[in-house]
Amino acid sequence: MHSWILCHALFNGMVATLMVATGTINTLAAKWADLNTAGGSNPVAEHYYDHPFFQAATMFLGERLCYVAFKAWYIWRQCNNQDMSIFGDQKFNPLIWAIPAMCDLCGTSMMYLGLTWTYAASYQMLRGSVVIFTGLLSVALNLGNKLKTHHWVGMVTVIVGLVVVGVGDYVFYMGGSSVLDKNTVLTGDMLIVLAQIIIAVQMTIEEKIMKKYKIQPLQGERTSFEDTIDAFHQWGYSAELLVASLGLVFSIAFFNLAGLTVTLTMNATTRMVLVTSSGIIIWVISLAVGWHIFQPLQPIGYIILLAGIWMNDDVIVLRVKYIRHM
């Protein structure tokens, strides 16, 4: 019995570590690619890897690997005559995913565009604003989620944290290895926050669909203004760009897989804590490699953001209840 508990705890620890590591690699790989220069089909001999829409496409490829994992799991259970009811009703029109898919495409592309114009740490922090919009939309669309007092306090706290991070990026702008000016950085921050509105619409519609059809999360992972040919050319000229892009693809795949496993074996609250904690690692690494120069408001803003997100997701409330019952 004790050995089983130990193995279970070890497994949970490994999955949690994998989730934090891949969540960190995902952002850092994308930013590393943004900061690299290489030749391509573009008339300019050597230029920055300015391909946010193509980066979004590579991320979708990573998500598509989750669907491959789902189909393998589905076929394996079917061949071994196991219970298939866990997959819910598979007879549904795939077009029900059209609106969430378009939201995913627009929101993710906008976020990667914002990432090219701001710091990796700020990108990770500002993504936390999605809790505000998902909370409001879940109430508006009547998904059965009632916002309590601590949820509202959490959302207000998140807004304060966002303002602190944004003001810090603008007022204490000190460059770093980036060629961006402070107005560009502020624009990037605003794009990331605006993208969270689209992502919130996607998440609330997905929740409504998955509750209705009982669809497995792995099955829901799916998949101009972009010079795709130039992106491929730059891959060929730069091994670093190729490694960064492949890192983005596989880190997304394993991040989603680890996240689902954490939700199933632990809980969604633990998953949210792990997702937000990767921001600290990204901030420290960005400082260490010179992508960002320390500015005092950023850690303050991040602490406020964390407090708001954890309050909104019941992490703090559950912890207080646990301590009271000890």
Residue type for position 147: L
Beta partners for 38? Answer: 47
User: Locate tokens 């500002």: which residue?
Assistant: 126
CA dihedral angle for residue 12, residue 18, residue 24, residue 26, rounded to 10 degrees: -130
pLDDT given for residue 191 in this prediction: 92
pLDDT given for residue 204 in this prediction: 79
Measure Cα distances from 137 to 95, 143, 208, 243 in Å.
Answer: 22, 9, 11, 38
Beta partners for 48? Answer: 37
Q: How many residues does the chain have?
A: 326
pLDDT given for residue 25 in this prediction: 92
- Angle in degrees, 0-180, between the axes of helices 239-265 and 268-289, rounded to the nearest 10: 150
Q: What angle do CA 243, 249, 253 make, to 5 degrees?
A: 140
Asked whether the beta carbons of 258 and 62 are under 8 A apart, the reply is no
DSSP-derived letter for residue 313 is T
pLDDT given for residue 119 in this prediction: 86
pLDDT given for residue 223 in this prediction: 47
C-alpha to C-alpha distance for 237 and 230, rounded to whole angstroms: 10
pLDDT (tens place) for every residue of the chain, 326 residues total: 567 677 777 887 888 888 889 989 999 999 999 888 888 776 667 888 888 888 888 888 888 888 787 778 778 888 888 877 766 666 667 777 788 888 888 888 899 889 888 888 888 888 888 888 877 877 776 656 677 787 788 888 888 888 888 777 777 665 554 556 778 888 888 999 999 899 888 877 776 776 666 665 555 554 445 577 888 888 888 889 999 999 999 998 888 888 777 766 766 556 666 777 788 889 889 888 888 778 788 888 888 888 887 777 666 555 555 455 55
Measure Cα distances from 25 to 20, 95, 205, 249, 279 in Å.
Answer: 9, 32, 28, 10, 11
pLDDT given for residue 280 in this prediction: 83
In the chain, what is the greatest distance between 2 CA atoms, to the nearest angstrom? 67
Q: What tens digit of pLDDT does each residue of 69-114 get? A: 777 877 888 888 887 776 666 666 777 778 888 888 888 889 988 9
Structure tokens, 46: 């050597």
pLDDT given for residue 267 in this prediction: 60
> Which long-range CB contacts under 8 A does 66-73 form with residues at least 24 apart?
66/218, 66/221, 66/253, 66/256, 66/257, 67/218, 67/219, 67/221, 67/222, 69/218, 69/257, 70/216, 70/218, 70/219, 70/221, 73/218
Q: What angle do CA 57, 63, 65 make, to 5 degrees?
A: 115
Q: What tens digit of pLDDT does each residue of 259-283 get? A: 777 766 766 556 666 777 788 889 8
pLDDT given for residue 75 in this prediction: 85
